[in-house]
Amino acid sequence: MINHNELWLSTKQVAQKYNLKPDTLKKQRYLKTGLPWRRIGKLVRYNDLSIKQYLEDNLHGK
């Protein structure tokens, strides 16, 4: 279930915030790797808290 108080970012916003290319995010979605994302209707969105948790878990060898 989507919590509307959470911050959901577009591909472009994630790319800018985390210094990634939108094409990299698209490729990761296709390969089912990388940052967690969800499709909300026709839109692809990234939950900012989920991204931070993913990065913490994967960058610190958890």
pLDDT in tens, 18-35: 999 999 999 999 999 999
Neighbours of 46 (CB within 10 A): 24
Residue 62 pLDDT > 90, yes or no? no
pLDDT in tens, 37-46: 999 999 999 9
Name, in order, each residue with C-beta under 8 angstroms of 35's C-beta and a sequence gap of 6 or more. 14, 18, 25, 28, 46, 50, 51, 54
pTM of the entire predicted model = 0.85
- State the Cα–Cα distance between residues 46 and 57, nearest whole angstrom: 17
